[in-house]
Amino acid sequence: MSDSAFRVHAMELGPMENFVYLVEDIASRRCAVVDPAWEVGRIVERARQLDLRVTDILLTHSHHDHINGIEELLEHASAEVHLLKPEYEFWAHELDKPSLHHGGDEIELGETSIRILHTPGHTPGSACYQLGNEIITGDTLFVFGCGRCDLSGGSPEDMFVTLKNMKERLPQDMLIHPGHNYSVKPTSTLGEQIEGNPFMHYDDEAAFVNYRMHVHDRTRDEPYAALSRQQLKIANLL
Ligand SMILES: [Fe+2]
């Protein structure tokens, strides 16, 4: 069916509906674990079942619920840890020889090329990982939602620019793999998000910032469903 070099396997783990992803390079049997956290035994077991060797760890950002399994996973596998340099500086945590990247860098996993995008907003060095026509978005973009911007290092102005860039630069049929299962469905396409993700409807930065910081959390509940531009207008929120 597909001629792509990789497969993405999702695991929902821990008490915060985190998605941990295993990226499988089909030819080499190498595996990159994205945001190892919570139940490392299950991650290791899944890799074993799939006959994969964990060689890389990719971090979307440094929040506890996305990184709390790194050390335990490294006891099972000698893997290279990748993250963006600005996130490493923000985190101020010692890692043993991490691979520090800039936005646009390519990471080679066997025959699979993974492009790391710098997508600040939730944290200063938040990253998305693009593989072919799929993208792992961490806490930047959720299905019908986006990451909060009120925590340390967050910036709703940066998030506005990040989402605008994603809208303008990525293909509409790109498949999204978010960092949490907060929606009525686990995955979506960028085109569906442009239609139904309220954070994609704002063209004005100040209005976006107001919605993200002061309105969203008291007007919507999980699981997030689609919200059209028209619905936002009718509710006087756009
Ligand atoms: Fe986060």
Residue with tokens 């890389």, as numbered in its chain: 56
% of the chain surpassing 90 pLDDT:
97
183 CA distance to ligand 1 centroid (A)? Answer: 16
147 CA distance to ligand 1 centroid (A)? Answer: 7
Q: In this predicted model, what pLDDT tens digit does every residue of 67-89 receive, in sequence order?
A: 999 999 999 999 999 999 999 99
- 128 within 8 A of 135, measured Cβ to Cβ: yes
141 CA distance to ligand 1 centroid (A)? Answer: 11
Q: In this predicted model, what pLDDT tens digit does every residue of 126-141 receive, in sequence order?
A: 999 999 999 999 999 9
Residue 147: the pLDDT is 98
- Containing 135, the helix (H) or strand (E) segment is strand 134-138
State how far the Cα of 102 lies from the Cα of 109, in Å rounded to an integer. Answer: 17
Residue 3: the pLDDT is 73
% of the chain surpassing 70 pLDDT:
99
189 CA distance to ligand 1 centroid (A)? Answer: 21
pLDDT at 1 over 90: no
60 CA distance to ligand 1 centroid (A)? Answer: 9
DSSP class of 199: G
123 CA distance to ligand 1 centroid (A)? Answer: 8
Sign of CA dihedral 125, 137, 192, 173: positive
State how far the Cα of 59 lies from the Cα of 64, in Å rounded to an integer. Answer: 11
Q: Count Cβ atoms within 10 A of the Cβ of residue 157 and give its class: 0-12 exposed, 13-18 middle, 19 or more buried.
A: middle
37 CA distance to ligand 1 centroid (A)? Answer: 12
65 CA distance to ligand 1 centroid (A)? Answer: 7
- 170 within 8 A of 152, measured Cβ to Cβ: no
64 CA distance to ligand 1 centroid (A)? Answer: 8
Residue 2: the pLDDT is 56
Residue with tokens 């756009």, as numbered in its chain: 238
Mean pLDDT of 14-28: 98
